[in-house]
Amino acid sequence: MQKFIPNKIALITMLAACAAILVSMGLRQTFGLFFNAFEEGLNCTRTEFGLAIGIQMLFWGLFAPVFGLLADKFGGSKAVFIGFVIFGIGIYMLYSGPNTGIYFQISLGVLVGTALGATAMSVPVSEVGKHFSNEQRTIATGIVTAAASIGYFLAPLFTKYTLGTVGWEQTLKYFLYFILFGAIASLFIIPKKEKVNHSFKTKEQDFIDAIKEAFSHKGFVLLVLGFFVCGFQITLVGTHVPGYMQDRGLGGWSATIILSLIGLFNIIGTLGMGYLGTKYSKKKLLSLLYALRGLVICIFIFSPPSIYTAIFFGCTFGVLWLSTVPPTNGIVAQIFGTKYLSLLFGIVFFGHQLGAFAGAFLGGYYFDLYGSYDYAWYIAIALSVFAALVHLPINEKPLVRSEQTI
């Protein structure tokens, strides 16, 4: 334990990030379960709902680098706390405001999406990663990502129950208590103090230089493209599996079972991938993950619908769900260092969220146009092949800088 946890600050930061990400990612995982309630209570179409989730994903991605830069400059606790405040405002507006039209898109889309840019994944994971060495970083980030999995497992069960007993508005009110807990936890995400070598004159790298350096590296661009695929697939599943299962005659708890099993088995996937990332090439692990995703989706959509198929998909896709995060974050830190890790991983995550917007929107769009999600699934399968190939040329070696720039 002493070898893995370098100091008490690293341990406190990791636990605080786990708590924050459990709340934010757990609540995020439940929004697909609200569709039937929004459809009945607000006359919301699948296209409108998909658009709101797509906008949410887009703003999540847009603000991930912004909050990442804030975290790199002023500390992760400030960035994540601000995010939870915005999260609370968005949820409050969703149940107390007009709830329709542009207001629906602003509350569920713009505000919640902006909040997720600070509270979910990129900033908490990167802030923890800064406290650990290259050898241990993927394990540490795997633990934080596994906390999101616990949220994924518990939040859909809680939400499904409360939607059926007290309704969607009261359920959203309950969400505010979880958001308050996340905000308090975020105050304990402690920034790591960077050591500066003053033995020779150096030009300290600013964030503009860091961005230019990253985009001049082919591997960084390929990571962005690969993470686009990740975003498309998991948002398509998280947003539209409830509707897809209902259309295949398996409504009720079947979608909840899938989403909860994804959360449960993702704990295995993220922790396992965190460990494997210390032993094997991270880019090869990513290629394997995306190839397996395509295979699992094929089995799911081409098999006869049944509760057993749902369980199979929840378990297998769960193992692959957020397993992409530790090796992706690990490659960014390994190549470019940790000084601007929150910013650079935030940019990679923006690619993820562009894919997420496409997955959320196109799923609803194709259903309203053709009465089926099939075309969206076919795109997800094709993208798996693309992602499996695009990671292979990445050079994982640390970038060698001149002594004049640090």
Rounded average pLDDT over 383-398? 94
As a whole number, the mean pLDDT across the chain is 87
| Selected residue with higher pLDDT from 202 and 254 | 254
pLDDT at res. 50: 80
Q: What's the rounded mean pLDDT across residues 276-284?
A: 90
% of the chain surpassing 70 pLDDT: 95
The structure tokens listed for 294 are: 């395509």
Query: CA torsion angle for 352, 355, 357, 358 (degrees, to 10)?
Result: 180
Q: What is the residue-wise DSSP string for 333-372?
A: HHHH-STTHHHHHHHHHHHHHHHHHHHHHHHHHHHHHHS-
* pLDDT digits 0-9 by tens, 107-134: 999 999 999 999 988 889 888 988 888 7
pLDDT at position 200 is 46
Tell me the whole-structure pTM to 2 decimals: 0.79
pLDDT-derived band at 361, boundaries 50, 70, 90: confident
Confidence grade of residue 282 (pLDDT, cut at 50, 70, 90): very high
Q: What is the pLDDT of residue 1?
A: 44
Confidence of residue 403 (pLDDT cuts 50, 70, 90): low
Q: CA separation (Å) from 8 to 1, 2, 12?
A: 12, 10, 6
The percentage of the chain sitting over the pLDDT mark of 90, rounded to a whole number, equals 41
The pLDDT tens digits for 283-294 are 999 999 999 999
Q: Half-sphere exposure of residue 26, counting CA atoms within 13 Å on the CB side?
A: 28
> How far, in Å, CA of 251 to CA of 45, rounded?
18
Calpha distance 351→214 (Å, rounded)? 14
Least confident span in 11-15, 93-97, 385-389: 93-97
Per-residue pLDDT at 142: 84
Model pLDDT for residues 152-173, shown as the tens digit of each residue: 888 888 998 999 999 999 999 9
Please answer whether residues 35 and 161 qualify as being in contact, where contact means their C-beta atoms are separated by less than 8 angstroms.
Answer: no
Q: At residue 405, what are phi and psi to the nearest 5 degrees?
A: -130, 130
Residues forming a β-bridge with 203:
405
Distance of alpha carbon 12 from alpha carbon 10, whole angstroms:
6
- Lowest-pLDDT choice from 124-138, 311-325, 367-381: 124-138
- In three-state secondary structure terms, 203 is strand
Residue 203 phi, psi (nearest 5):
-100, 115
Label residue 406 by pLDDT band (50, 70, 90). Answer: low
Place of tokens 């970038």: 399
Which positions ≥6 away from 73 have C-beta within 8 Å?
A: 207
pLDDT score at 67: 92
Average pLDDT over residues 281-306: 94
Of 252, 3, 243, which is closest to residue 136 (Cα–Cα)?
3
Which domains does the chain possess?
Answer: 8-191+204-390 (1.20.1250.20)
Residue range 100-105: average pLDDT? 85
Q: Report residue 195's pLDDT band, with 50, 70 and 90 as the boundaries.
A: low
- Rounded CA-CA distance 148/322 in Å is 9
Task: State mean pLDDT over 124-149.
Answer: 84
Greatest mean pLDDT among 153-157, 274-278, 290-294, 312-316 lies in 290-294
Alpha-carbon separation of residue 20 from 4, 25, 177, 234, 399 (angstroms): 22, 9, 13, 20, 32
Q: What is the pLDDT of residue 2?
A: 45
Q: What is the pLDDT of residues 224-245, one digit of tens each?
A: 999 999 999 998 988 888 888 8
Q: Structure tokens of 111?
A: 């505000």
| Helix, strand, coil in percent for the chain, rounding step 5 | 80, 0, 20
